[in-house]
Amino acid sequence: MNPLPVSQAAVIVDPFSSGAQYAPEFASRGIATVAVGSLPAVPAAYADSWDPALHHRVLHFDGDLDQLVAVLRPLSPRCVLAGAESGVELADRLTERLLPDQANVPALAAARRDKGAMDRALRAAGVPTIAQICTDDPEAVRAWIDREGLRGKDLVVKPPKSGSTDGVTRVPAGADWRIPFDAQLGRINQWHNLNDRMLVQEYAHGTEFVVDTFSHRGRHTVADICRYGKTAHRGRHTVADICRYGKTDNDGQMAVYESLTWVAPDTPEVPVLTHYAEAVLDAVGLRHGTAHIEIMLTADGPRLIEINSRPHGGGHPAFNLAATGDSQVHRAVRWYAGEEAAPKTYRLLQHMTVLFLMARRPGTVSNTAALHGIRELPSYHHSAVRLRDGDLIEVTRDLLATLTLGFVVLAHPDPEQVAKDTAAVRAMEDALIVTPVPTGPGGPR
């Protein structure tokens, strides 16, 4: 149990994934944290980041908001922050009750979590968006496709309240969008939300970026901007058959992570992305806290993929600290600890890339010793590679599945060194072997 005084504690809702980084930072300033869990259990992919010993108290939300508020109010919390996507809505509701001066716009709460409401809020504010419809009525979708002239075009189908790319499916031109629509409608997703509607949207072409922000009193600051990347599919019967990196198509899922690279602040796209991100934040009423904003830079300008009103997941803030000397989490902690306001932008101290593993087909992995050289690379910064000989892997369809395989972080002042070591990591992965699992009438055996 955290021994710090609990008065004026920071309340963290679902403090796992990157949300786990709040507690140590607050503790370094003599501020205790109280953890509030909104889920029945921490998702398996994030279990390693959950440490109840970091917090003065651990509470669980059972649906009774009044009771939870009654327990928290005597602690005089200084802030309520969402640690992970699942905690966004509860953090909003608690802040309204406990710290109304820090509340984001209550009337726009749905727009900070539900992608359908998100799109409506942007349109109402005059912010350009991707053509889309959110409904449970397939006939409405069919009429919308005809009205928008999208028949015979690539489409995207996804749940409006999923997270970590769960259920995001690309529908190639000519394919039947009803298959993923019907398959996911009515399903309980990985974040324990009912898919009571589905979002169908035009497939946006361009380069995808993520803008990570911290806001206070409506003043928005950018902690970092990263670019998602893709790599060519190479090789046969090696890792190219089972592992690749970043946001790309994989077995019908179009948002599987491949690579992520930090963008220098003097890159021409940065002002365009920053201006658009600020417009998005205003449109959804986010005045306080962190956000993770995914944006496609198209030929017609930036278009929102989605905004997540919490820190960039997967441990990103700690990596960003090494890349830029700062992060969303550190900015938030400094502000709520009464220290200085965050700078409007960021600087790049060293070049950084994250490479994600991806399974392209199921099978049993062997020769994982080929990956042992990763830690010897000149730009090696961090890794969480979980593959072991004999592991049976499924096709990677979302971020949670990606995290069960692992990732590698490379960082160096020289971008050429990062590029060389990226190629080296991929060569090591190409030495991995996957053996298809024999199947019988009853499936794998």
CB atoms near residue 228 (< 10 Å): 21
Q: Is the pTM of this model over 0.85?
A: yes
- Mark which of 149, 184, 202 sits at the end of a domain: 202
- The answer on 14 and 97 residing in a single domain is yes
* pLDDT over 60 at 45, yes or no: yes
* pLDDT over 90 at 2, yes or no: no
pLDDT in tens, 424-443: 998 998 888 888 887 655 44
Percent of the chain with pLDDT over 90: 73
* Number of domains the chain contains: 2
What is the per-residue pLDDT for 264? 97
- The answer on 97 and 181 residing in a single domain is no
Tell me, yes or no, whether 164 lies in a domain. Answer: yes
Tell me, yes or no, whether 47 lies in a domain. Answer: yes
Looking at residues 209-224, what average pLDDT do you find? 97
pLDDT in tens, 91-128: 999 999 999 999 999 999 999 999 999 999 999 999 99
What CATH number has the domain bearing residue 173?
3.30.1490.20
pLDDT in tens, 353-365: 999 887 777 889 9
- The answer on 138 and 87 residing in a single domain is no
pLDDT in tens, 26-40: 999 999 999 999 998
- Mark which of 157, 182, 202 sits at the end of a domain: 202
What is the per-residue pLDDT for 356? 87
Tell me, yes or no, whether 154 lies in a domain. Answer: yes
- The answer on 69 and 21 residing in a single domain is yes
Tell me, yes or no, whether 412 lies in a domain. Answer: no
Residue 318 CB-density burial (10 A; 0-12 exposed, 13-18 middle, 19+ buried): middle
* pLDDT over 60 at 131, yes or no: yes
- Mark which of 163, 182, 202 sits at the end of a domain: 202
What is the per-residue pLDDT for 443? 46
pLDDT in tens, 88-101: 999 999 999 999 99
Looking at residues 315-341, what average pLDDT do you find? 96
Percent of the chain with pLDDT over 70: 89
- The answer on 70 and 136 residing in a single domain is no
What CATH number has the domain bearing residue 21?
3.40.50.20
pLDDT in tens, 332-383: 999 999 998 899 999 999 999 999 887 777 889 999 999 999 999 999 999 9
pLDDT in tens, 220-241: 999 999 999 864 433 333 333 3
Tell me, yes or no, whether 142 lies in a domain. Answer: yes
Q: Residue 153 sits in which domain range?
A: 131-202
What is the per-residue pLDDT for 397? 64
389: tokens are: 């000989």
Residue in the block written with tokens 């509701």: 93
Tell me, yes or no, whether 62 lies in a domain. Answer: yes
* pLDDT over 50 at 242, yes or no: no
Tell me, yes or no, whether 298 lies in a domain. Answer: no
Instruction: Single out the residue of 319, 285, 334 nearest to residue 10, CA to CA.
Output: 334
What is the per-residue pLDDT for 236? 34
* pLDDT over 60 at 245, yes or no: no
- The answer on 91 and 22 residing in a single domain is yes
Tell me, yes or no, whether 3 lies in a domain. Answer: no
What is the per-residue pLDDT for 244? 33
Looking at residues 303-307, what average pLDDT do you find? 96
What is the per-residue pLDDT for 325? 98
- The answer on 89 and 159 residing in a single domain is no
- The answer on 97 and 143 residing in a single domain is no
Looking at residues 405-419, what average pLDDT do you find? 94
pLDDT in tens, 159-188: 998 765 677 888 999 899 999 999 999 888
Confidence of residue 398 (pLDDT cuts 50, 70, 90): low
